[in-house]
Amino acid sequence: EAERTRKPSWLRARMPGGERFEQVKRNVHEHRLSTVCEESHCPNMGECWNNGTATIMVMGSVCTRACRFCAVDTGNPKGWLDQDEPENTAHSVEMMGLRYIVLTSVDRDDLDDFGAGHYADCVRAIKRRTPHVAVEALTPDFDNINEHVETVVDSGLEVFAQNVETVERLTERVRDPRAGYKKTLDVLEHAKKHNPKVITKTSLMLGLGETEEEILETMDDLRAIGVDIVTFGQYLQPTRNHLPVERWVTPEEFEWYREKGLEKGFLEVPSGPMVRSSYRADRVFEKNNLG
């Protein structure tokens, strides 16, 4: 057990650094901004911030779902939303001096539109204030209601993401019962059909007991509905009450999945032990001249 829970050497945090990193950090602290990067002690902060990429969470910190890998608190926010959030978020993006912002959120099954309208307001506010900043929205599934997916896709964002998190067989074990493998695929498929210019993206955590074959099958399912980017990272158990890590996937295996993914036609496949869905999202974007 101890062997299995001890982290391998390749998961040691990297030292943050770089000129732009220092500048973003100064701005964040001076204006007391909150980012997922800092709050989750993300090991990629040096790299991401140094390249002008950060992640901000919107729609509160209490989720109506309870996925078994996720450390976010579960509860019922009873329709609460911060009406100033779109403007404040846009202000934060401007203050930080970013080039690429990832917006993420909790699931809001308590809201009539599952939060789609508020999400879109946040994107629009950012685009009004800083039109040069690329926006990626890592969204909830909006209970698969096409109208809500469209609301977000039409907000002016560049990248629309919904995470499949794991392979089909493990979905029930890993994700909240209201989430679904097919449900996520349908959301991504609809987003792409609705606006083919929008980049679609999804992420998987590895080390939950999935097989190589299942990972390759998942990539095929994703390509079949036009998903452009898939990311692979190591699952880490946030507390002892969460799902255990079944296996530490080696850096070589991650690299192999990246190559397989590129062969299958994904635009980019960020894949590595410390990759998060938002890891260096700007690079993927710029490499493909999508701006």
**Least gap, CB of 271 to ligand SF4 (angstroms):** 13
Chain residues binding ligand SF4 by CB under 6 A are 36-37, 40, 42, 44-45, 48, 53-55, 63, 65-67, 70, 72, 102, 106-107, 176, 276, 278-279
- In the complex with ligand SF4, the residue whose CB is nearer, 4 or 182, is 182
Report the nearest approach of ligand SF4 to the CB of residue 65 (Å): 4
Amino acid at 121: D
- 42 versus 229: smaller Cβ distance to ligand SF4: 42
Smallest distance from ligand SF4 to CB 82, Å: 17
The pair of structure tokens assigned to 110 is 């308590």
**What's the closest the beta carbon of residue 281 comes to ligand SF4, in angstroms?**
7
Residues forming a β-bridge with 195: none
Pick 32 or 197: Cβ nearer ligand SF4: 32
Give the C-alpha separation, 247 to 170, whole Å.
Answer: 14
Q: Based on CB atoms, which residue is closest to ligand SF4, 104 or 200?
A: 104
Backbone dihedral angles phi then psi of residue 85, each to the nearest 5 degrees = -60, -45
* Identity of the residue, 265 or 270, whose beta carbon is nearer to ligand SF4 in the bound complex: 270
Residue whose CB is less far from ligand SF4, 106 or 188? 106
Identify which of 219, 205, 217 has the alpha carbon closest to the alpha carbon of residue 273: 205
What phi and psi values does residue 199 have, to the nearest 5 degrees?
-75, 130
Please give the span between the terminal C-alpha atoms of the chain, in angstroms, as a whole number: 47
Q: Closest approach of Cβ 2 to ligand SF4, in Å?
A: 28
Encoding tokens for residue 65? 């779902």
Name the nearest CA neighbour of 36 among 59, 65, 19: 59
Q: How far is the CB of 265 from ligand SF4 (least distance, A)?
A: 24
Report residue 290 CA to chain centroid gap.
Answer: 19
Report the candidate in 193, 112, 107 with the shortest Cα–Cα distance to residue 146: 193
* Length of the chain (residues): 291
